[in-house]
Structure 1
C-alpha cells in the first residue's frame, strides 16, 4: 500500500492506493485502480469513533486532482463548527462513566468550552431535524 500524507490548500490530505479498497471514484464512477486515490477531505459531520484527531475528515476515493479540489471546496463551503461539536458530544456521551453525566460534564469530556456548548445547543434548536438527546441520554437544552 502506498500512503502519501501532506497538505492541499491548507487541508491535511492523505492519498492511499486503492487496489484493495474502494475501487470506484465517488465523483465520476471511474473504476481504473491505477488512477484512483483515497484522500481525507474536510467534513464537519465526520466523527471518528477511535481516533479523536481524525474528526472533521472523511475518506473519499477520487481519480483526479480536479475532483479532489471540488470535494475539498464543497467540504469547506458546507462546514459547520456546531455540527462537529454535536458529533463530539454524542461520542463523549457514551464514553465509560458518561451515560448518566450532565451535559456540561459531557461537554468537558468532549473538549468543548462553555461557549461552544452554548452555540451547539442553540444551533441544534434551530434545525428541522434537531437532536433531542445525546446517545448517552443527556437532553440538549
Structure 2
C-alpha cells in the first residue's frame, strides 16, 4: 500500500488536487476525496469544474443519488460509495481507514505538519506500507524528498 505525503508549501490543495485526480482517472482508477471541512469540499468541487478550460473532471459531492457512478467522489468520511481504491485526505488529518485503499494521498500544510509527522512515524514501521514524502519547490512543482 502506497501512502504519498504531500507537503503544501506554495499552492493550496485546491490548486494541486485536480492534476492528481486527473492522473488517477487516466490510470482507470476512481478517487475518494475526504475533508471534514464542508467549505473546503465545496472549494474542491469548484476546482474540479474549472481546473482546465477545455474540460472538467467528472465528480460529485457525497450524499447524492449517483454516488456510485462518480469517478471522483468528495465526502466528509472515508466511505467510498463510488468503489474508489485511491483516497485523498485533503484537510491535513490522517485517518487509518485510508490503509484499506490501494493508494492514499495525504495533503498537509504548515498548520498540520506536526500531525503529519506523527502519521509518518506510525506508518514508516508498518509492514506492507510504503510512505513517500513530496514537497513543493518554489515553483510549486513536486519533489520527492523521502
State the TM-score, normalized to the length of structure 1.
0.27
Structure number with greater Rg is: 1
State the TM-score, normalized to the length of structure 2.
0.27
Structure number with higher strand proportion: 2
Return the structure number with greater relative CO, CA threshold 8 A, min gap 6: 2
